[in-house]
Structure 1
């Protein structure tokens, strides 16, 4: 005895709308109609519908179910691709669970990029926020360099910079800038990409510049921004002088040889 659409859906544990959706998607064959115009489904339709439901429960997309024939001939390539996607999802979920456990246990924090936990104490709250933003702007190689910079950077001037108020006088600003400049100069020399980060950008140069400007303007007060500008200018002068001196020494050494 043939089944109606509603009877087929009930037997398969699904809905009439789902059966119709499978028809429209081409994964379930349309049955013949009786003289009164009603569809009549047979056992092959029920078996195919149960097969589709099983594959859907496994996470197989409809587009790939279509390649799985009514006879059960399943292309290995399609299922292997699905298996790879599932493995990647499991790995991502396991990493997420591990990070959540670490946060709960207090061994990591959410206000820093992954991998920066060991240097967290060396960063102020604004600097932590800046690192989170940097992670969206720079590639992993650049982020690894930034972590190394934080790890090896001298503390000279950091406390004074953090305590600097917006109305700090010019003398204080210049003094702190001169304290910060040597470390910035060393970074510029050790990591040339800081002067031209184009190859390490995850976003376009324009978006990166706008995002950086908007972020630092909100994180630091006027005096701190002024100090950063002065320290950067001094650092570039120190880096240029050091490079010139090194070149001169090398030339002198070659002449002696």
Structure 2
């Protein structure tokens, strides 16, 4: 498949593919006689993995360790996991505050209605 076909199947843009080549997280595929890049199913799988990691919040520029299989990729995922855990704690605290405010507003509203 060519660049446009791969991009379409993976749900990314051709510009994203080019950027992935430029920063080294996607290897350049062989070219056909007409000069077009020729991607295989493994390239599609690779791009889908990059897309999934990106959706997790990992910037493309930090993915080299993960896609290459470097052990520092584990550290990157551990850091992301800690950041997500902190965000969950913070959001749960905010939800508790909203609940308290809602309860207080309901009590204040009923007191004024009497």
Normalising by structure 2, we get a TM-score of: 0.75
Higher relative contact order structure (alpha carbons within 8 Å, sequence separation ≥ 6)? 2
| Superposition CA RMSD, Å | 2.1
Specify the alignment match of 2:65 in structure 1.
67
Structure 2: tracts of 5 or more residues without a match? 106-114
Of structures 1 and 2, the larger Rg is shown by 1
Structure 1 stretches of at least 4 aligned residues deviating more than 6 Å after TM superposition: none
Aligned residue pairs total 104
Tell me which of 77, 85, 91 is aligned to 1:93.
91
Normalising by structure 1, we get a TM-score of: 0.37
Deviation at 1:73, TM superposition (A): 5.7
Distance 2:18 2:100 in 1: 47
SS in 2 for 1:106: helix
Structure 1: tracts of 5 or more residues without a match? 108-257
Specify the alignment match of 1:38 in structure 2.
36
Distance 1:17 1:105 in 2: 50
Tell me which of 35, 50, 53 is aligned to 1:52.
50
Indicate if the aligned counterparts of 2:50 and 2:67 stay in contact, CA closer than 8 A: no
